[in-house]
Amino acid sequence: MLIRYLIRRALAAVVTLVGVSMLIFVIARVIPGDPARIALGPMATKEQVQDLRNDLHLNDSLPVQYWEYVKGVSHGDLGISLYTRGPVADDLIKTFPATFELILASSILMIAIGIPLGTLAARYRDGIIDNFSRLFSLLGVVTPNFVWSVSFMLVFAFWLEVLPVAGRLSETVMAPPHVTGLYLIDSLIAGQWATFRDAFAHILMPAAALSLASIGQTTRLTRANVGESYERQYIEFARAYGFHEGRIAAKYALRPALIPTLTILGLDIAVKLGSAFLVEAVFAWPGMARYGVYVILEKDLNAIVGTVLVIAAFFLVINLIIDIIVAFIDPRIRLGVRGQ
């Protein structure tokens, strides 16, 4: 049952990706500005601009351009970036792991802090923890992540000088041997503890800045959903049976409350891939979010389409993973039982 469901979702994902590629292909070409002129600079002659337009097939009709693009993609060629002048695929391979590591770290913070805090807030409603979580969530949600970034940088890098300012590693530290592209994991695999410590120190501030809004949102969602669970009769029964409060919270209140929370979190994690731009910019984090914004500003057509496709694929994969997790949490979904 589950496998059939997954196959159906995977096929839908392929159709979605094709649709996204067509849509973004057209949108990228509608943005004002001639990409050839932007790439060559203001002093290039008209002939030079025309030559480059021909190379990029920009003088062809949109269907022809799209066909040329699809032909390239089928060979794993996403074209050349006019921004970096290198193959788009290489740029994405180089930048994606950095952003993914950042998102992963911020998502861990979001789950590790947001869910327990929300559960405690629901359990001790209107108490000190609840009031604290409310203030914390509000601050997290209303303050843009670049403000957190700059504030963290001022406090921890500029005044206290306890955390590094920029990049993924210090200039004296070599990157670990490439396995996943995630320095924290690769350094652990290689047993390079010093590199791990350095990478950890570098990711702390950007991950925290990126996660605060999500922590706030997770806390509020969890609080609301767990609060609802606490009002159910089975919680009363559990209490009547004399179960420990911790067991009631984790097993009977939190578990059913996790399903809507996880669905929203899935979306939130995927959205981070695009919204990490400002955090990456402030901390000079060499990631894909920053790359994506620069290529839009430069009207770098191949890179725009490539970046959006990766974001869309990431979005679909994350949602698929969430669906699987939800299916495991909720047996009705796993067993294909419709709601009563």
Partner 1 sequence: MKRIFFMLAVLMAAFAAPVQAETILRTDEVAVGEMDPYKAKDVADSILLYNLYDTLVFPAVDGSGSGVKPHLAEKIDIDGTKYTITLRDGVKFHSGNVLDAEDVVFSINRMNALGQGFSYLFKGRIKDVVAKDKRTVVVTMVKPYAPFYAALLRLAIIDKDDVLAHKVAGKFGEFGDYGQKYLHSNAAGTGAYRLESHDPQQLTVMRKFKDYFAGHAAKSPDVVRQRYSLKDPTILALMSRGEQDIANQWIGPETQRSLVGLKGVTMLKEPGIAQYFIKLNTTKAPLDDVHCRLALSYALDFKAIHGQRRITDEYVGAKPAKGPLLETMMGYDPTMPDFAQDMKKAKAELAKCKYKPGDHRIEITWIAEVSWEERMALLMQQNWGELGFKSDVVRVPWVLFTERTSKPETTPHVGQINFNARTPDPDAYLYPLYHSSTHGQYNAMEYLSDDEVDRLLDLGRSTTDPAKRATIYTKVIRRIVDLRPSIYGFQMVNLYPKRDVVMVPTLEKPNMNTGLMGGNLIFRLMEMK
CB-wise, 28 or 213, nearer to partner 1?
Answer: 28
Site for partner 1 contains 161 (CB under 8 A): yes
Tokens 């979010």 map to which residue?
289
Site for partner 1 contains 204 (CB under 8 A): no
H helix runs in 56-144, sequence order: 62-74, 88-123, 128-142
Q: At a CB cut-off of 8 Å and minimum separation 6, what does 279 contact?
A: 102, 145, 146, 149, 206, 209, 210, 285, 289
H helix runs in the chain, sequence order: 2-30, 35-40, 46-55, 62-74, 88-123, 128-142, 145-152, 183-189, 193-230, 233-240, 245-247, 255-275, 277-282, 288-297, 301-329, 331-334
Site for partner 1 contains 255 (CB under 8 A): no
Q: What distance in Å separates the CA atoms of residue 139 and residue 255, rounded to the nearest whole number?
A: 27
| Inter-residue contact 291 to 303 (CB < 8 Å) | yes
Stretch that binds partner 1, among 60-68, 133-141, 158-166, 225-233 (CB under 8 A): 158-166
Which residues 13-42 are close enough to bind partner 1 by CB under 8 A?
Answer: 31-34, 37-38, 40-42
Site for partner 1 contains 201 (CB under 8 A): no
Residues in binding contact with partner 1, number by CB under 8 A: 45
Residue 17, number of CB atoms within 10 A of its CB = 15
State which of residues 44, 185, 264, 320 lies at the interface with partner 1 (CB under 8 A).
44
CB-wise, 186 or 298, nearer to partner 1?
Answer: 298
Site for partner 1 contains 83 (CB under 8 A): yes
Stretch that binds partner 1, among 77-85, 105-113, 137-145, 190-198 (CB under 8 A): 77-85
Residue 307 beta carbon to partner 1: minimum distance, rounded to whole angstroms: 13
| Inter-residue contact 141 to 217 (CB < 8 Å) | yes
| Inter-residue contact 29 to 59 (CB < 8 Å) | no
CB-wise, 186 or 280, nearer to partner 1?
Answer: 280
Q: What are 61's two structure tokens? A: 């009709």
CB-wise, 150 or 259, nearer to partner 1?
Answer: 150
CB-wise, 153 or 249, nearer to partner 1?
Answer: 153
Residue 168, number of CB atoms within 10 A of its CB = 24
Torsion over CA: 1, 5, 104, 173 (sign): positive
Site for partner 1 contains 214 (CB under 8 A): no
Site for partner 1 contains 76 (CB under 8 A): no
Which residues 277-336 are close enough to bind partner 1 by CB under 8 A?
Answer: 281-284, 286, 290-291, 294, 297-299
Stretch that binds partner 1, among 88-96, 193-201, 234-242, 321-329 (CB under 8 A): 88-96
Would you give the distance in Å from CA 36 to the centre of its chain? 31
Site for partner 1 contains 174 (CB under 8 A): no
Site for partner 1 contains 177 (CB under 8 A): no
| Inter-residue contact 316 to 27 (CB < 8 Å) | no
State which of residues 3, 15, 30, 47 lies at the interface with partner 1 (CB under 8 A).
47
Residues of this chain that bind partner 1 (CB under 8 A): 31-34, 37-38, 40-48, 51-52, 83-86, 91, 94-95, 150, 153-154, 157-158, 161, 165-167, 171, 281-284, 286, 290-291, 294, 297-299
